[in-house]
Chains A and B, each alone.
Chain A
Amino acid sequence: MDKKPAPGRKVNIELYSVWGGTGGVGMVNLAKRFEEAQDDIGVRVVYAPAGVGGGSVQQKLFVAIAGENPPDIAQLVPSQTPQWADLGIMTDLTDRFKAAGLTQDDFFPPIWESISYEDKIFQLHWDADPNFPFFWNKKVFEEAGLDPEKPPQTIEEVDEYSAKILKKNGPNIARIGMVPWDSYGASNSMFTWGWAFGGSFFDKDTGQITPDNEYVVKALEWIVDYAKRAGGPDRLAITPPGLQIHVFGTGNVGMAPLVAPNYRDILANVKDMEIGTGQLPYAAPGADRIGAGAWIGGWGMFIPTSAKYKDEAFEFMRWVTASDEGTMAQWETTGYPPAYNKSPVLDLLKNDEVFKPYYDVLTTATNIRPPFPVSDFFFQKLDMEVNAALFGQKTPLQAMRTVRSETETELERFRKEVKAV
């Protein structure tokens, strides 16, 4: 997962990689590809793992920044940009971005939402994670007496199909239509289905968060009712211990949104599973089209304020995130779709049987997790309160109002105590 820079370079930059395993190896290979592409800059890769809340805690990076010995390039979850920029730990890349000839038109629209903050550029999207296409298990559909070629288009149809797919083993759920409260954690579930209902979490014009928006609350009401109808979230017994692939791969789940690596794993390990692919169902009247719940995630790259070799670091970032050769190298080494909309990788995706659904999401999704200061706090509150509603401790409306009031208090504190410094 670590790599020394190539010998004999004029400048060696240091890159912190959050990934272990195959992702970490991919990052090392990507750095080698960059070294092969030019002769001046060497890249040292250091494994600096991220954990908790989808990787929001990067202790090694924070300590390095606090000790004024940061890497030249580090990664972050793009929605963290406002907070990290306000904390003063990110280099303003606006001038370098313009000098490189890059513009808003080079990126997918939702990506631009998170790349720019207060009309400045602080990070570049290293990848674009299309969350999510919609998948269904054709065999489960057949067993339940459903047409395996006819996926649900609306939330009503999801409910209808789920009633037929549901199988109980005593009080436990042995097979379920979908697990809408766990589409990659409670907060991601809330975003996905909230948007699928036509909800909105953030008003960009007023800077206010709106988790208690009418359609977000409706989405949570649906999630809670769904879980109750199935027998309760604590009665879900569809995951064997030690399962190494996504639970959809067990055949105990009829429908699921999936990220690309999970889909690839299932295809590789459960070869006889017939999987249908499409777009997320939606709920009228809030939403008006299938796939309305899709959003773009991924990781960003930034240059810490006290980094030594900013120009060389930007050279690497620009190559990886917004060049034909670099995005192709990134795809071939780490396997993430690019955020750069002119990348030749997109042609590959479009014509690839496995990744076609992801291409569709990438080119049509309009949502992104709200980038605003204290977003991590917001996501954690969502996690907590969605679960509180799910287990009947609060009504969905109470839960979302709690999220709003506590996040607003935190946002006010941040603006008063931190941003003002």
Chain B
Amino acid sequence: MTTTASNPSQTAPATGVPRKRSRATPAQRRNLFWGLVFTSPGIIGLLWFTAYPVLASIYYSFTSATMVRSPKWIGFTNYAALMKDPTWWQSLYNTFYYVVLSVPIGIVVALILALLLNLNIRGKSIYRVIFYLPAIVPLVASAVVWLYVFNPQFGVFNTILGWFGITGPGWLADPLWAMPAIIIFSTWGAGNLMIILLAGLQDVPQDLHDQAKVDGAGALRRFRHVSLPFLSPHLLFALVTGLIAGFQFFTPIFVLSNGTGGPAGSTTVSGLYLFQNAFQFFKVGYASAIAWVLFIIVALATLLVFRLVGRRVYYAGS
């Protein structure tokens, strides 16, 4: 878009009289109008389908909303009940268990894959495709496939363990092993992050590596002192988005546990418990309270990460 407005600082007399705010020209107003017209579907959609539900859920969290009848204002009752709800605490424990293990494991797996795929080897494009493919398979389809992988008798894992004389666990059938199984499954989608880290690795200036080599640095030291600082913004991004996604983890657990969060509640994460309350028990107000408590937890966790890790990030060129 072009504009015909002149710079007022060049034309204003130096008299000490306050300058008038420059008024938009007809062309600018016309541009603004048409700009708004063309972006209005997006803006209206955002307001109606995102902003309104978000604001409505704040209100509903203070009511006995049931989705099918008028909500009644009950103040902080939902939040108070949540604090005394053992299933909520169990779901929160399960959520933290998942986040604390799956996020770092996911990052490490993606980083190892990115480093391997950054090597100059023949057919690396094929490897990149192979490792990225799982990330574009729909989650539900992946989860169904992994049901077979985790089958206690016929599954891939226990068959391999059996070769070494190890009796594999019951995986999804055992409360002790169900969540570790889901964490293993979640590394399956490391392809997205792998691509981002690979892009980061390729941004590392080659001459720095060469200088380090001349100075006698081995591969590990070059990674630690050259590659890692350049990757730190990408890793921070991975950590923050991983935390947010981890706290909202839902689909695979819904599929793998058939919506129950079993066995014995061992995979009932907060997102699933929210869903059960809203759509199974008609407790929309309570589910909204869960959503907002979860939001606060995610916000605090993100803030903590920025405070602890944000300062150690190296932005090349800044």
Question: Which residues of A pack against B, CB within 8 Å?
Answer: 51-53, 56-57, 59, 62, 65-66, 83, 87-89, 169-172, 186, 232-242, 374, 376-377, 380, 383-385, 387-388, 390-391, 393, 406, 410, 413, 417-418, 421
Closest to A83 in B: B282
Specify which chain A residues have a CB less than 8 angstroms from the CB of B177 in the assembled complex: 234
Could you list 21 A-B pairs, sorted by A, with CB under 8 Å? A57-B259, A57-B279, A57-B280, A62-B67, A87-B66, A87-B69, A169-B153, A233-B173, A234-B174, A234-B177, A241-B147, A241-B148, A242-B148, A376-B281, A377-B280, A380-B280, A384-B265, A385-B264, A387-B264, A388-B175, A421-B64
Specify which chain A residues have a CB less than 8 angstroms from the CB of B276 in the assembled complex: 52, 380
Inter-chain CA distance A195–B69, complex, in Å, is 36
Contact check, A374 vs B86: say whether CB atoms are below 8 A apart: no
Chain B CB within 10 Å — which of A383, A388, A417 has the most? A417
Closest to A405 in B: B86
Tell me the B148-174 residues at the A interface (CB within 8 Å): 148, 151-155, 167, 169-170, 173-174
Closest chain-B Cβ to A293's Cβ sits at a distance in Å of: 23
Contact check, B175 vs A391: say whether CB atoms are below 8 A apart: yes
Closest to A394 in B: B264
Q: Is B221 on the interface with A (CB-CB < 8 A)?
A: no
Closest to B64 in A: A417
Inter-chain CA distance A236–B151, complex, in Å, is 10
Closest chain-A Cβ to B158's Cβ sits at a distance in Å of: 9
With beta carbons under 8 angstroms apart, the residue of B68, B70, B81, B152 that contacts A65 is B68
Q: Is B142 on the interface with A (CB-CB < 8 A)?
A: no
Closest chain-A Cβ to B142's Cβ sits at a distance in Å of: 15
Q: Is B130 on the interface with A (CB-CB < 8 A)?
A: no
Inter-chain CA distance A419–B137, complex, in Å, is 45
Closest to B263 in A: A387
Specify which chain B residues have a CB less than 8 angstroms from the CB of A410 in the assembled complex: 281
Contact check, A421 vs B69: say whether CB atoms are below 8 A apart: yes
Contact check, A241 vs B86: say whether CB atoms are below 8 A apart: no
Contact check, A234 vs B169: say whether CB atoms are below 8 A apart: yes
Q: Is B72 on the interface with A (CB-CB < 8 A)?
A: yes
Closest to A59 in B: B279
Q: Is B11 on the interface with A (CB-CB < 8 A)?
A: no
Q: Is B233 on the interface with A (CB-CB < 8 A)?
A: no
Contact check, B264 vs A384: say whether CB atoms are below 8 A apart: yes
Contact check, A235 vs B154: say whether CB atoms are below 8 A apart: no
With beta carbons under 8 angstroms apart, the residue of A53, A237, A377, A388 that contacts B265 is A388
Specify which chain A residues have a CB less than 8 angstroms from the CB of B262 in the assembled complex: 186, 383-384, 387
Chain B CB within 10 Å — which of A59, A88, A387 has the most? A387
Contact check, B68 vs A87: say whether CB atoms are below 8 A apart: yes
Mask of B70-104 contacts with A, CB within 8 angstroms, 1/0: 10101001000100001100000000000000000
Specify which chain B residues have a CB less than 8 angstroms from the CB of A52 in the assembled complex: 258-260, 276, 279-280
Inter-chain CA distance A374–B277, complex, in Å, is 11
Specify which chain A residues have a CB less than 8 angstroms from the CB of B148 in the assembled complex: 241-242
Inter-chain CA distance A59–B281, complex, in Å, is 12
Specify which chain B residues have a CB less than 8 angstroms from the CB of A59 in the assembled complex: 279
Closest chain-A Cβ to B140's Cβ sits at a distance in Å of: 12
Inter-chain CA distance A388–B261, complex, in Å, is 12
Specify which chain A residues have a CB less than 8 angstroms from the CB of B69 in the assembled complex: 87-89, 418, 421
Contact check, B259 vs A388: say whether CB atoms are below 8 A apart: no
Specify which chain A residues have a CB less than 8 angstroms from the CB of B279 in the assembled complex: 52, 57, 59, 62
Chain A CB within 10 Å — which of B69, B70, B72 has the most? B69
Closest to B286 in A: A413
Inter-chain CA distance A167–B154, complex, in Å, is 17
Specify which chain B residues have a CB less than 8 angstroms from the CB of A383 in the assembled complex: 260, 262
Contact check, B167 vs A391: say whether CB atoms are below 8 A apart: no
Given contacts A59-B279, A241-B154, contact A421 B175 (CB under 8 A): no
Closest to B77 in A: A417
Closest 9 CB pairs of A and B: A234-B170, A237-B153, A387-B264, A52-B259, A417-B64, A234-B174, A388-B264, A241-B148, A387-B263
Given contacts A235-B170, A387-B175, A391-B175, contact A56 B265 (CB under 8 A): no
Inter-chain CA distance A336–B152, complex, in Å, is 35
Specify which chain A residues have a CB less than 8 angstroms from the CB of B174 in the assembled complex: 234, 391
Specify which chain B residues have a CB less than 8 angstroms from the CB of A56 in the assembled complex: 280
Closest chain-B Cβ to A304's Cβ sits at a distance in Å of: 9
Contact check, B86 vs A406: say whether CB atoms are below 8 A apart: yes
Closest chain-A Cβ to B91's Cβ sits at a distance in Å of: 11
Given contacts A233-B173, A413-B81, contact A66 B67 (CB under 8 A): yes
Contact check, A89 vs B68: say whether CB atoms are below 8 A apart: yes
Closest chain-A Cβ to B274's Cβ sits at a distance in Å of: 13
Inter-chain CA distance A169–B174, complex, in Å, is 18
Chain A CB within 10 Å — which of B70, B153, B169 has the most? B153
